[in-house]
Structure 1
């Protein structure tokens, strides 16, 4: 049976449901993750953050947060969250694609994330070269990935990734 998934902009009224979804998917330990430390300093960009629904049930969400790494400004993708009962149905891919398309449309140049290269590689993400970027806490360097939305955008990306609020 095929499910009809609707991807739409995250609305302020979705915040509590997205938080409950993140709790189910990642548990309370998610706040200790380094990427969450970056995100706690800046709100996600509502123009680049999306939710997925099946009927009225929120089953997925993805956010993008502004960051700086050296002279480069970019976005931190995530958390990408899909309800465990609905994984492996293309919901995460639809959310990532929608966020990337919105970022390109808004003129953003660079996206960074912490995640699985085998999964995110299909969207054009590659591993950050060793020693080039750092997170403000422990992270497996093999999981720090980037994608240029405009050619040459990664050239100025150096140093520690920090939230950027404008």
Structure 2
């Protein structure tokens, strides 16, 4: 049976090992890492999936902000990575982690959500879309169609141009 726990209950080295297995040791060069540089994950929205005492998956969320040209900063929560050990993938664990995080976000998120992800998957199953993100920018390369956002807990999305970075 899979148990969902706060990510803070898991040894950080175990999380890093999982992320290396899921995304490779070169993952630190990705744009997503630049966006959340220097900030800690949001404890209330970051979870681990554990089965028989072993870590099999995680979801992390990060405090980021949309900064408009006029200097106005709008807080956002960046979702991801969602990671599952390769041998455990296709078992629904990522979807379970995502659904659990979204349920928590409906009452605990301090801002709307954004992510870099597959719009066909995250749109279909979790309500993320690129409607508000067309003029947002990121500090590195990205596919515009994969920059997604979702309103939660009554928090609106920024609508104008701006750069996404750490809060």
Please give the TM-score of this superposition, normalised by the length of structure 1.
Answer: 0.89
Quote the RMSD (CA, aligned, Å): 1.8
Whether 1:56 and 2:58 are equivalent positions in the alignment is: no
Stretch of structure 1 that moved more, 52-61 or 154-163: 154-163
Relative distance call for 1:72 and 1:158 in structure 2 (3 A) is farther
Provide the rounded CA distance (Å) in 2 between the counterparts of 1:130 and 1:110: 12
Provide the rounded CA distance (Å) in 1 between the counterparts of 2:151 and 2:10: 32
Structure 1: runs of 5 or more not aligned: none
Equivalent pair of 1:62/1:96 in contact (CA under 8 Å):
yes
Q: 2:70 — aligned with what?
A: none
Provide the rounded CA distance (Å) in 2 between the counterparts of 1:9 and 1:152: 23
Residue from 10, 24, 29 that aligns with 1:27: 24
Equivalent pair of 2:133/2:149 in contact (CA under 8 Å):
no
Name the count of aligned residue pairs.
161
Provide the rounded CA distance (Å) in 2 between the counterparts of 1:88 and 1:157: 37
Whether 1:85 and 2:94 are equivalent positions in the alignment is: no
Provide the rounded CA distance (Å) in 2 between the counterparts of 1:20 and 1:130: 32
How much does 1:152 deviate? 6.4
SS of equivalent residue, structure 1 residue 162? strand
Q: 2:121 — aligned with what?
A: 119
Equivalent pair of 1:61/1:80 in contact (CA under 8 Å):
yes
Structure 2: runs of 5 or more not aligned: 68-72
Whether 1:95 and 2:97 are equivalent positions in the alignment is: yes
Provide the rounded CA distance (Å) in 2 between the counterparts of 1:157 and 1:62: 28
